[in-house]
């Protein structure tokens, strides 16, 4: 990540302009069917940890990774107040990927296209990947994120290599954003679904 982008996000979180404390309702929609209550979870580029805290409340051992020290400090303070076990890691994902294996990797509003091979490789066998991200059609109603930071419409229609698609939807949501919402499970090298899934 460029120093400009790094400072942009740090300034945003330092000034309290994050995404709030409530998790995306999509997580509640898919949790009972697809998400474990034990294991290791990674909230990738998770800001102040609205999703990391939700995962920790479910009983997962959670690591929150972000580029902003201010965001991570806020997350750690909230977790301490709530008595949650939450690890934080300040990391530039252009330089390194948090070492797994991870039983859950959650990515919300962070373009992960170029990181997908590394992400799949760090999932445990049977591990679950959850993605929420706006697509190009979002520009019909919103000027940001700009085209550079959007997924193509239908980009995940064929799924993610190495993952079995468990849930995939794309469309305008209640907040007016056009998003893809995807859940996939890591499959074995033969392409078959892992036992016990």
pLDDT digits (tens, 9 = 90+) for 63-77: 999 999 999 999 999
Q: Where are the beta strands (DSSP E) in 20-122?
A: 40-44, 61-66, 86-90, 102-108
pLDDT bucket at 85, cuts 50 / 70 / 90? confident
Q: What is the mean pLDDT of residues 43-65?
A: 95
The answer, yes or no, to whether residue 153 has pLDDT greater than 50, is yes
| β-strand partners of 104 | 41, 128
Average pLDDT, the chain: 89
pLDDT digits (tens, 9 = 90+) for 119-152: 999 999 999 999 999 999 999 999 999 999 999 9
Dihedral in degrees, nearest 10, Cα atoms 175, 127, 110, 131: -30
Residue 178 burial by Cβ neighbours in a 10 Å radius (0-12, 13-18, 19+)? buried
The span from the CA of 173 to the CA of 100, in Å, is: 32
Residue ranges and CATH numbers for the domains of the chain are: 37-186 (3.40.50.150)
pLDDT for res 128: 98
Selected residue with higher pLDDT from 188 and 4: 188
Q: Give the H or E element holding residue 134.
A: strand 123-134
């Amino acid at each position: 990540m460029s120093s400009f982008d790094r400072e942009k996000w740090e300034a945003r979180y330092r000034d309290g302009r994050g995404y709030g404390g409530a998790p995306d309702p999509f997580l509640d929609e898919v949790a009972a069917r697809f998400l474990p209550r034990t294991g290791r979870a990674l909230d990738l580029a998770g800001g102040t940890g609205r999703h990391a805290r939700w995962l920790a409340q479910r009983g997962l051992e959670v690591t929150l990774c972000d580029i902003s020290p201010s965001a991570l400090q806020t997350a750690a303070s909230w977790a301490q107040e709530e008595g949650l076990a939450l690890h934080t890691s300040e990391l530039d994902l252009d330089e390194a990927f948090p070492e797994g294996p991870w039983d859950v990797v959650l990515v919300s509003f962070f373009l992960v296209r170029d990181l997908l091979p590394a992400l799949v490789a760090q999932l445990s066998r049977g591990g679950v990947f959850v993605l929420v991200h706006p697509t190009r059609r979002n520009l019909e109603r919103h000027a940001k994120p700009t085209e550079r930071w959007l997924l193509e419409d239908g980009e995940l229609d064929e799924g993610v290599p190495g993952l079995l698609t468990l849930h995939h939807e794309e469309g305008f949501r209640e907040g007016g954003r056009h998003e893809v919402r995807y859940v996939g499970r890591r499959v074995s090298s033969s392409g078959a679904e892992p036992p016990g899934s």
